[in-house]
């Protein structure tokens, strides 16, 4: 696929009858214990606004360039070597295959969203290569095959062999759902069958150092109906947490192997590992109706959100071991908040939402998508953040290729994040709506068209909105069965004083709940949800030391950042105390950063003491640190956090010291 | 040496005439450009108080146990394998030899301070082993010889071969100075000669990834008069900072290889590496009278102290890469503040003091020794901190053998810190006093006896004090030449309202300066310096986000910490706002932690919001975060930071949120 070829509708002969993709990334079985069910993948179409623009850039820039990077970095060449159709040295880290699989999954979802010959051909080509590299018994890993003479599972805590298998299976399921082509699914099933024969309580009792295969196996079960995949996923969830991974250079904590999943009441260790495991365990709990496991996951999620989440939804506060920190250890400057962790957090939260119908999970999905996730890709779609700090200091020095002080980068030596962003953006529509027996629930707001089955018959609604810039949301009922059903609209937890009208008549709407309207709908009915979006000043829990004495700016679902580049001459963002008594004003700026609402604040410019030693006598009476300073009232401009570092990288703050 | 054998005066025959050790660890030549000169090593004796107790424990516990650890961990066995007197597998990290050398240096300084047969015999035994392991051309590294078949300098950024050489040379110089025995000095010179023949502008143009050899070579030059060692040290200083170490997995920054030393105006990268390099460069600058280099080092030190030092004198704020952070990036919880970095900071500051006579360097030495350094060893002398945070949170989980949440440990896989502490404690007396042409300067206060040469004749003073618990310091002149000379007493920068009397007559004394008294002294003269030690509340620069809205408690040279273990039931140290308007009271507690002055504070116990999401609406009028809380006035106990974690490890804070 070349970036010069414009997307177009597919005219290639299809291998089977053309059909709409039945399911998105998560498709619980009919027997699963879940309160909500996703709508079919192609039943949701994002038709405008911020997310459509991002999906378009993902299709036109990110995915084509991704393939180029995968060629240059060695991911595709590695597979060619493994397939015996090229010779050379296998390159890159042990998880190289997974980057390609995530990219392939992105291509599949993108094809499912809007088919094109290019997208189909590239999937077929890469699938053929993968199939050729697979070994006769189903095993496949180009790095192990190319570099370790095929010696398998020698170093499972680090080798990522099952991790790669998991991403292969996820791509295979996506390909099957979006194209109807089963070639990759067969590769994935052969690998999964090999895993089933290799691992288990009576076989090799072991797990991969990096979870993801759990989610993948459950989805493969959902797609194929083969229960052994679910059993294997359950085995991997249960086997973990018993210290299998001792003596591998890190504590078992790092590998989520210190405490069994169903005994764990918090999140710890490597953030992405812990989150993928939790998401997979939630799938297992849903499919098995395992309430004990779901209870543990509910506690874990609650503890994470209460003590270990950034305001942006970012997760994982330590560079060291890419780990969750201790409770309330949430530094802004050294936040790791890996883009993949944001994605994993969304995957877990979405599954918890399906399982419980608790709107707080949807709040978290929204918060993360608009902030901690979306900051991970540049507006132009060609560059990525691996690490997403909430502060960059003046004089920051980038000493690592992942450091945000470099600005976003086209690719990374460890390139997990870019293709993870691609598959998430491509499949984003699947997070907008669900159904249950009573009706249709809308969780995320975007201009969109949604078809769903309610009470056995089809309904169609369209959503009109300028969200997230404006809180007005109009839902048009375009097609409906005659029987009553409930339309539920999520009222975000921040949306105080929300109002809801149905054809002009007021209904109740409470922040943090779903506003349910049950009636016999008629085509042409209009539901209007108005979510007031004043600028909000947000303070942190007293125990979050990193944000003490500070406020953040939020508006609607967006967290704001103050970048040095927006400020008038003489305004140094680290030398400002924000004045909360002066009004903060939102302003639509179509010219700025692809069109955003910026916020104007007021604050005092304070001149810090320039001293040889940065510690001084504290005064008993002074509550503000501005005591000794000359000060001047200044305007400060804030922009959405997701849009920062799109004009070069410089000093930035989310948490602003206050008067 | 066995820990059962009590120390005793040496009765072994000495190889040469018995003499007092001429010099301590740093002994600039007569031609060096330095304003102050150390007094001879045995001219200072610490005769009581806190430091004597620590020296005794160092001798009786730390050094004997250190040898046991070096045996068990493989350091001594590795050398036996290299010497061909044992067989087996070489163990441990590449810098194993250096741990032994530092321990041997500690034994030498300890012998120089107070000789014993045990200390002499153990030095001779280990020296014989080292000499036997040395290769004919002078090269020596047991790990390279045992594990890499002697393939030298293949991976200099990581192999620590010159780093080990440096520590060998430092031990050799200490042995020569303290015992008069030259066997190890000859080993060191052979190695140094080999290095001189191998490295240089016309030979191999390269440097070790970990500095220390620079300091060592200058000291070897000072001890032997061989100028080639100084030349080689200068070469290593000048060669650095030109990106020699590209592509070794870390940026050149990590290796202090991004910016030439004389162009550098800050400190960056791996803290211990950067600090050892700076200390060695200061030695080079002194010996060569290189003012340009000294200017650069002066700027670096000033920038470090103004923007990258903890209140404790701790240096290096990042676990990741053990590095200095960006300016003002000084988290309390994730402070790395390696014990070795504190020691390296003292080594550099002391050299800067010698070069410049600026008392602020002595202030920094004192601050670091009493706080960031001394916390690195338990009061009992058997356990160490590698990492010295300023905060441990409730619920902190130790995921690394270096984590303070474990408490101190007897040894580490990377065991650089313990023997570094030992050599520093043993030689601590050498940091108390200096001389110049006009007289004697006292920098650190301890019960002590100091002999020095002023105006060509000998003087002797004794110091009587309960420092650091009390600020009263009595200096008795016990012997003096008849001619006038100046006695200078450092008045610490924190000592406002200090007073000085000479035989009861007042003299001037200004905080942050030396109080100079020039006169014709007579035996029996008494100088009394009174340093008021009220409890001080200390605030941080506005840009140190981690300490915003907080105060620390200091008294005299000590930084205080609040440990959970000292608090009454119901006082949770993370839920207290300190009230600066209520008096803080110091109290001598002979029963506590080996005898300390504790401090009683008052504060409000505030109940944090227990919420599902730790971010909430900020109120425009509230300056304190206590707005919504019920609160109760409570007593809070603080203890010296150096003494924390001697009763198990639990929640601890240096920076306390304030009302």
pLDDT (tens digit per residue) in A536-577: 999 999 999 999 999 999 999 999 999 999 999 989 999 999
A416 is catalytic: yes
Whole-prediction pTM: 0.94
Residue B606 has pLDDT above 90, yes or no: no
> What per-residue confidence (pLDDT) applies to A6?
37
Residue B398 pLDDT > 70, yes or no?
yes
Classify A107 as helix, strand or coil: helix
Q: Over 80: is that where the pLDDT of A248 sits?
A: no
Beta pairing, strands A615-617 & A656-657: unpaired
Q: Determine whether the interchain pair A399/B328 forms a contact, defined as Cβ–Cβ distance below 8 Å.
A: no
Q: Which of these is catalytic: B164, B416, B417, B550? A: B416
DSSP H or E stretch at residue B46: strand B44-46
* Chain B residue with the nearest C-alpha to that of A300: B612
For the cut 80, the answer to whether the pLDDT of residue B3 exceeds it is no
pLDDT number for residue A476: 98
Q: Could you report the per-residue pLDDT of A268-311, keeping only the tens digit for each?
A: 999 999 999 999 999 999 999 999 999 999 999 999 999 999 99
Closest by alpha carbon to A310, among B625, B614, B335? B614
Pairing of strands B485-491, B439-442: parallel
Residues of A in Cβ contact (< 8 Å) with B269: 399
Pairing outcome for strands B596-606 and B576-578: antiparallel
Helix (H, G, I), strand (E, B) or coil at A409: strand
Under the banding of pLDDT at 50, 70 and 90, the label for residue B401 is confident
Structure tokens at A249: 């250079």
State the Cα–Cα distance between residues B188 and B191, nearest whole angstrom. Answer: 5
> What's the pLDDT score for residue A611?
83
- A-chain residue closest to B299, CA distance: A612
Cβ-defined contact of A542 to B307 (cutoff 8 Å): no
Q: How confident is the model at residue B250 (pLDDT cuts 50, 70, 90)?
A: confident
Question: CA–CA separation, A459 vs A465, rounded Å?
Answer: 20
pLDDT per residue as tens digits for the range B321-339: 999 999 999 999 999 999 9
Query: What is the band of A5 on the pLDDT scale with cuts at 50, 70, 90?
Result: very low
Could you tell me the CA-to-CA distances from B95 to A486, B134, B161, B601 in Å, in that order?
70, 16, 8, 45
Q: What is the spatial distance between Cα A542 and Cα B615, in angstroms, rounded to a whole number? A: 10
Q: Give the pLDDT confidence of A235-244 residue by residue, as tens digits.
A: 999 999 999 9
Q: Quick one: pLDDT at residue A237?
A: 98
SS3 state of residue A612? coil
Distance CA A343, CA A374 (A): 10
CB atoms within 10 A of CB A128: 13
Q: How far apart are CA B268 and CA A189, in angstroms?
A: 51
B133 vs B77, B80, B86, B88, B119, CA distance in Å? 11, 7, 11, 15, 21
CB count within 10 Å of CB A612 equals 12
Tell me: pLDDT of A8 over 90: no
**pLDDT cut 70: percent of chain A above it:** 95
What's chain A's average pLDDT?
94
Residues of chain B contacting residue A251, judged by C-beta atoms under 8 Å apart? 398-400
pLDDT of residue A2: 37
Question: From its phi and psi, is residue A532 left (phi > 0), alpha (psi between -120 and 50) or beta?
Answer: beta
Nearest to A617 among B397, B537, B575 (CB): B537
Q: Which of B105, B110, B322, B338 is catalytic?
A: B322
Tens digits of residue pLDDT in A51-90: 999 999 999 999 999 999 999 999 999 999 999 999 999 9
Work out the angle at residue B265's Cα, subtended by the Cα atoms of residues B259 and B266, and round it to the nearest 5 degrees. 90
- pLDDT at residue A101 is higher than 60: yes
How many Å apart are CA A330 and CA A396, to the nearest integer?
Answer: 19
Radius of gyration over alpha carbons of chain A, in Å?
Answer: 25
- Alpha carbon of residue B612 to chain centroid: 44
Chain A interface mutation, best of B303, B331, B549, highest count of A Cβ atoms under 10 Å = B549
Stronger pLDDT, B296 or B16, i.e. the higher one: B296
Average pLDDT over residues B240-269: 91
**DSSP label at A482?**
S
Which of A247, A345, A405, A615 is the mutation pick for testing B, counting most B CBs within 10 A?
A615
At residue B323, the pLDDT reads 97
Closest approach of chain B CAs to the CA of A167, in angstroms? 27
State which residue of chain B sits closest to A326, comparing Cα positions: B396
Quote the Cα angle for A324-A329-A334, to 5°: 80
B189 Cβ contact partners less than 8 Å away, ≥ 6 residues apart: B172, B220, B224, B226
Is the predicted pLDDT of residue B621 greater than 70, yes or no? no
**A191 min Cα distance to partner chain B (Å):** 34
Interface residue of B256, B266, B323, B326 to substitute, partner A, most A CBs within 10 Å: B326
Half-sphere exposure (CA, 13 Å, Cβ side) for B504?
A: 1
**Rg of chain B (C-alpha set):** 25
Whether B10 shows a pLDDT value over 70: the answer reads: no
Residue A589 region by backbone torsions, left for phi larger than 0, else alpha for psi between -120 and 50, else beta:
beta
Residue B32's pLDDT band (cuts 50, 70, 90): very high
Query: Which residues of chain A make contact with B617, given a CB cutoff of 8 A?
Result: 536-539
Determine which of A511, A618, A625 to mutate to test the interface with B (most B C-beta atoms within 10 Å). A618
What does the pLDDT average to over B628-650? 89
Using a CB-CB cut-off of 8 Å, the residues of chain B touching A391 are 545
Nearest to B306 among A536, A541, A612 (CB): A612
Positive or negative: CA dihedral A592, A595, A599, A600: positive
Active-site pick, A214, A322, A383, A563: A322
Q: How far is CA A583 from CA A119, A366, A580, A606, B128, in A?
A: 49, 27, 7, 20, 78
Please give the Cα distance from A373 to A477 (Å, whole number). Answer: 31
What's the pLDDT score for residue B19?
52
Q: Compute, in degrees rounded to 10, the torsion defined by CA atoms A137, A142, A147, A150.
A: 0
The secondary structure of A260-288 as a DSSP string is: -TTT--S--SBHHHHHHHHHHHHHHHHHH
Structure tokens at A496: 């105080």
CB contact under 8 A, B269 and A659: no
| Nearest CA among A134, A222, A125 for reference residue A186 | A134
What percent of chain B lies above the pLDDT cut of 70?
A: 95
Q: Taking all residues of chain B, what is their mean pLDDT, rounded to a whole number? A: 94
CA dihedral A552, A555, A557, A560 (to 10 degrees): -40
> Is the pLDDT score of A400 beyond 90?
no
pLDDT value of residue B469: 98
Q: Hey, how many other C-beta atoms are within 10 angstroms of the C-beta on B297?
A: 25
Reported as a pLDDT band with limits 50, 70 and 90, residue B4 is very low
Sign of the CA dihedral running B367, B372, B373, B374 = positive
Task: Mark whether B322 is an active-site residue.
Answer: yes
Determine if the peptide bond prior to B468 is cis (ω within 30°). Answer: yes
The Cα–Cα gap between B144 and B95 comes to: 10
Q: Do B537 and A606 touch (CB under 8 A)?
A: no
The number of beta carbons lying within 10 Å of the beta carbon of residue A89 is: 10
Of all residues in chain A, the one with the smallest CA distance to B559 is A615
Question: pLDDT tens for residues A126-155?
Answer: 999 999 999 999 999 999 999 978 789 999
Distance from CA of A178 to the nearest CA of B (A): 37
A548·B543 Cβ contact <8 A: no
Residues B230-247: what's their mean pLDDT?
94
d(CA B109, CA B115): 9
| Residues of chain A contacting residue B511, judged by C-beta atoms under 8 Å apart | none
> Does the beta-carbon distance from A329 to B621 stay under 8 Å?
no
B329:A393 CB<8 A: yes
Closest chain B residue by Cα to residue A399: B251
Residue A12: predicted pLDDT:
54
Where are any strands of DSSP class E within A401-471? Answer: 433-436, 439-442, 448-454, 457-465
């Amino acid at each position: 696929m070349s970036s010069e070829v414009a997307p177009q509708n597919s005219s290639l002969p299809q291998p089977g009858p053309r059909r709409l993709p039945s399911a998105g990334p998560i498709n619980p079985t009919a027997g699963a214990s879940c309160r909500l069910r996703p709508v079919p993948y192609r039943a949701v179409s994002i038709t405008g606004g911020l997310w459509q623009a991002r999906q378009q850039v993902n299709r036109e820039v990110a995915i084509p360039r991704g393939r180029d990077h995968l060629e240059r970095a060695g991911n595709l060449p590695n597979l060619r070597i493994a397939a015996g159709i090229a010779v050379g040295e296998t390159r890159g880290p042990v998880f190289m295959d997974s980057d390609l699989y995530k990219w392939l999954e992105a291509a599949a979802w993108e094809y499912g969203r809007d088919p094109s010959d290019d997208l189909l051909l590239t999937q077929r080509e890469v699938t053929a290569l993968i199939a050729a590299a697979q070994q006769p018994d189903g095993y496949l890993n180009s790095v192990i095959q190319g570099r370790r003479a095929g010696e398998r599972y020698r170093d499972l805590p680090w080798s990522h062999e099952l991790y790669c298998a998991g991403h292969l299976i996820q791509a295979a399921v996506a390909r099957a759902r979006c194209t109807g082509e089963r070639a990759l699914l067969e590769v994935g099933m052969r690998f999964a069958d090999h895993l089933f024969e290799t691992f288990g309580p009576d076989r090799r009792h072991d797990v991969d150092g990096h979870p993801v295969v759990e989610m993948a196996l459950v989805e493969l079960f959902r797609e194929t109906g083969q229960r052994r995949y679910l059993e294997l996923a359950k085995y991997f969830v249960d086997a973990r947490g018993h210290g299998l991974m001792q003596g591998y250079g890190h504590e078992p904590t790092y590998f989520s192997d210190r405490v069994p999943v169903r005994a764990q009441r918090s999140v710890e260790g490597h953030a992405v590992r812990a989150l993928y495991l939790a998401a997979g365990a939630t799938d297992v709990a849903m499919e098995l109706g395992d309430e004990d496991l779901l209870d543990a996951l509910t506690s874990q999620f609650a503890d994470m959100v209460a003590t270990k989440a950034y305001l942006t939804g970012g997760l994982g506060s330590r560079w060291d071991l890419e780990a969750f920190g201790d409770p309330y250890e949430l530094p802004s400057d050294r936040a790791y908040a890996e883009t993949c962790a944001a994605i994993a957090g969304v995957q877990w939260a979405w599954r918890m939402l399906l399982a419980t119908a608790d709107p707080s999970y949807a709040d978290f999905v929204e918060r993360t998508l608009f902030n901690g996730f979306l900051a991970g890709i540049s507006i132009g779609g060609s560059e990525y953040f691996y690490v997403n700090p909430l502060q960059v200091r003046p004089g920051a020095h980038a000493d690592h290729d992942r450091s945000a002080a470099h600005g976003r980068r086209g690719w990374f030596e460890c390139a997990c994040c870019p293709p993870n962003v691609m598959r998430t953006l491509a499949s984003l529509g699947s997070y907008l709506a669900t159904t249950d027996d009573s009706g249709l629930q809308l969780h995320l707001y975007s201009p969109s068209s949604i078809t769903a089955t309610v009470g056995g018959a089809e309904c169609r609604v369209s959503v009109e909105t300028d969200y997230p810039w404006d809180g007005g949301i109009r839902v048009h009922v375009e097609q409906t069965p005659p029987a009553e059903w409930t339309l539920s609209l999520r009222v975000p937890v921040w949306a105080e004083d929300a109002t809801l009208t149905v054809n002009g008549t007021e209904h109740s709407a409470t922040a943090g709940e779903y506003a349910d309207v049950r009636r016999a709908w008629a085509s042409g009915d209009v539901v209007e949800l108005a979510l007031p979006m004043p600028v909000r000043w947000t303070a942190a829990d007293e125990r979050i030391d990193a944000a003490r004495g500070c406020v953040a700016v939020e508006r609607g679902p967006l967290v704001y950042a103050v970048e040095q580049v927006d400020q008038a001459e003489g305004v140094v963002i680290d030398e400002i105390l924000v004045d909360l008594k002066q009004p903060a004003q939102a302003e639509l700026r179509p010219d700025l950063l692809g069109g955003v609402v910026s916020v104007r604040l007021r604050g005092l410019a304070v001149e810090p003491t320039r001293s040889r030693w940065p510690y001084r006598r504290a005064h008993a009476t002074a509550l503000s640190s501005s005591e000794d300073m000359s000060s001047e009232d200044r305007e400060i401009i804030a922009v959405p956090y997701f849009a920062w570092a799109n004009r070069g990288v410089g000093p930035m703050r989310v948490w602003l010291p206050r008067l």
